[in-house]
Structures are given as structure tokens and as C-alpha cells.
A and B are shown apart, each in its own frame.
Chain A
């Protein structure tokens, strides 16, 4: 527990020193969203219909953008290799990466959602649904992207490979999240979609850290 706390502290410190790592994806998210009203025209009804999909696609891409550099430095410096060799607490290391990845890319998206609602003419009921789906969905995005980053850490140009590997895994999340927001906009209940998202999240939380550890071990040997 102490180890996890210390490792998380280290990751947060690194994020504070390398602001581009988390600010760029965030700005990307905002810019992509602000391009849509300009591109498809400022027709309020059209934007409202398209909003759930747009928000989620932008979220997927911005999380993906942040994922690539997750393990790069520690891999290049030999930190991961030496942690694996002495079987030092890899699980805490991975969990710390996950937590800080969500804090730096997932949480800001949730906080930005009122601004997004303004840009895309989203009504209040949909906004609440969007916040819920982002709260449940962004941790899952972080989990998947950390897994992708671990798998591609030793690849030279890992960025594209990472996208090809991870984007298909985002599809179920995209479907249920935008369905939930759509249901909310029509004043229908959307508990079912949220429950499925929660189930996916719990499943991923249990299994993905182990997969990440194996992937890191695979990449240093």
C-alpha cells in the first residue's frame, strides 16, 4: 500500500514536470469538439443528435494520444527491466500508472463535460448521462490504453500499432456509452447501459493489470 502510494506520488510528480503529456490530449479533445459545430454547421438539432457519438470518439482519441508515452521513458531508462529482473513490485508500479493515467486524462474529460455540453447544445438530462458514462467509461479507457502501451512499449513506432490494437477494443464501450446518452436525451431510462459499462469496467479492473505485467515482462525478455 505504501509502495503504491509512493509510486503514485512519483508518477504525479513526473506529470507535473512533463505537462505536455497530459495537456496536449486535453487540448486535442476540446479542439476536436469545437471543430464539429464549424464543420457540420451550427444547426442545434443536428448537433444534439450527433453529440453522444462525437463526445465519445473525441474522448477515445485523446486518451489514446496520452497512452503512447506511458511506459516509454521507464522502458528506455531500464527501470522496467530492473523491476522485472528482481521481481520488485510490478503490480504497484502498474496500478500507479493506471491511477495517474486516469487522473490526468480521464478525470479532466469529466470535468470538461459542461463545456462540451455548451458547445454541442446538449440538454441537461443528456449532460447528466454523459457525466455518468464518462465516469464509468474513462477508467476503462485508461485500463485498455495502458494495456496497449505495455504491449507496444518496445516497438519503435508504437503509436499507430497502439491505435490499431486498442481502438477495436473501445467499440463496445462506444456503443453503450453513446446509447446511454441518446436514451437520456429521449427521457428514457439508461440504467441498463450503465450497468453493462460497470460490468465491463469491473472485469477489466480484475484482469488487465495482470495482462499489463505479463506484457511488460514479455517486452524486456
Chain B
């Protein structure tokens, strides 16, 4: 019985997302000769990267190599010291709100408030993303948070908090995901589920940039790895 219920639930949740506008000829996101300097240290320079719809870009590198800085630059939160980021052949300044409306950025901090419950946090991000309210209990149950919906998030473990934060990826309709260390604190099961979800997003024409220190378990066809070298 329980198995049947789970199947029904997952069928209800796994409605195929609307395919995004896909053009394989033009890159979705492009970094041209990016340079980032922090505290007089050049993290990277002359860094080029190209991301097309349906592709996954994994940014790898040691601690302090500049992965998060690169992601913040790609998300438009920080300015590169040299070079520029292009979204559909336009600089971020030109693309403006159009770029932001296509972007879901989940940074190092999870973006959830500890005093609010999992349910309230999810519904906050639903409202913020302009997505209509839906059955959050099912979504949270799918993420392994059944029974913990009404507990303030400060009572949850780090991994469970991360799950609440990542719940957003199941309902936002954004083509480009920029995720900083999405697997931090997650257990193997959750990582596998998340990677499966990545695959779905890529298949429907989305694109993902992420940083992680863990090897990806699924072999993605369109995986590019960008290795940032730690420099002095």
C-alpha cells in the first residue's frame, strides 16, 4: 500500500516541466576572459566558459580556488575585474531582468530562515518565485522530510535544512540553475535523488552550473568540468 502511494505521489510530482526555449547553436551562458581578484590575489584570469541549453558545468578546484566567486560573477551578484558574462549573446547589464527571470541561484547560505518551519520556508520561496501554491506536504515528503514540516528549521539537521532549501528546484520554472555546493551535508540517497532531478532538468532543456567536491554519480552526456587551479 505504501509503495503504491509513493508511486502515485511521484507521478503527480514528476509532471514533465515545460521544455525551455532551446537553441543548441547559441550558447546560453558565456564567460569571456573573466578575471577575479580578491585581496590582491588573482583567483583566475582569462577564464572562458560556455554553457548551452541541456548542459551541466561542474566547477571544480581546491578550497579558495575561486569557485564561489566565479558562481557569484555568473549569477550577476559580483562584477568580474575583467571580461564579461554573456547571456544569450548579451552582456548581463543588457539582458538585465530577462536574465534574472531565467535564473535560480542557491548560494552557500541556504536561504532559509531558522525560525520558520520547512513548510513556511518553502511557501516563502514559492511566493518569491511567483509560483502558485501547491501541495507542499507531498513535495517535502518526497524530499524525506515527512513529519518534520511543522518544526522550526533551526531544530533540523544541516542536511535536512539543505533539503528544505533545495526543495525550490522542484517548483521554480527557471532555465538556468547556479548552485554553490548543493550536495553539502546531504546523505547519499538525497544526492542520488538530486542528481536524478538534475538529469530531468537537463533533458527538458535547462542548464546547470554547480560546484562540488564530490564525483557525480550519474554520467551526464553533456558534462563539462572546469578545473580552477589554486594560485598564489
Contacts and interface: CB of A to CB of B under 8 A. Distances in A.
Nearest to A80: B111
Interface stretch (A82-90, A149-157, A184-192): A82-90
Interface in B50-107: 75-79, 97, 100-101, 103-107
Given A14-B113, A86-B174, A6 B124 contact: yes
Q: How large is the interface on B (under 10, 10 to 19, 20 to 34, 35 or more residues)?
A: 20 to 34
Interface stretch (A35-43, A71-79, A122-130, A137-145): A71-79
B107 A81 contact: yes
A195 B96 CA distance: 40
B129 interface: yes
B108 interface: yes
B25 interface: no
Contact of A77 (B78, B97, B105, B114): B114
Interface string A203-221: 0000000000000000011
A137 to B, nearest CB: 30
Contacts of A87: 97, 100-101
B109 A85 contact: no
Contacts of A89: 128, 130
Interface in A1-24: 2-3, 6-7, 10, 13-14, 17-18
Contacts of B76: 85
B118 to A, nearest CB: 14
Given A14-B115, A14-B116, A73-B113, A6 B127 contact: yes
A85 B105 contact: yes
A89 B113 CA distance: 17
Nearest to B174: A86
A33 to B, nearest CB: 31
Nearest to B117: A13
A138 B176 CA distance: 43
B77 A84 contact: yes
Contacts, number: 78
Given A14-B116, A221-B79, A78 B124 contact: no
Size category of the A interface is: 20 to 34
Contact of B120 (A13, A73, A93): A13
B107 A18 contact: no
A14 B107 CA distance: 23
A86 B109 contact: no
B110 interface: yes
A10 B109 CA distance: 19
A221 B111 contact: no
Nearest to B78: A221
B27 interface: no
A85 B97 CA distance: 10
Interface string B142-178: 0000000000100000000000000000000010001
A221 B79 CA distance: 8
B212 interface: no
B195 interface: no
A18 B115 contact: yes
A54 B46 CA distance: 61
B204 interface: no
B138 interface: no
A81 B104 CA distance: 11
26 contacts: A2-B127, A3-B130, A6-B127, A7-B124, A10-B120, A14-B116, A17-B152, A76-B109, A77-B110, A77-B113, A78-B108, A78-B109, A81-B77, A81-B107, A85-B77, A85-B100, A85-B178, A86-B100, A86-B101, A86-B103, A86-B104, A86-B105, A86-B174, A87-B97, A88-B128, A88-B130
Interface of B: 75-79, 97, 100-101, 103-116, 120, 123-124, 127-130, 152, 174, 178
Given A78-B107, A82-B105, A85-B76, 15 more contacts: A3-B128, A6-B123, A10-B116, A13-B116, A14-B115, A78-B109, A79-B111, A82-B106, A82-B107, A85-B75, A86-B101, A88-B130, A220-B77, A221-B77, A221-B79
4 closest residue pairs by CB, A with B:
A78-B109, A87-B100, A85-B105, A6-B127
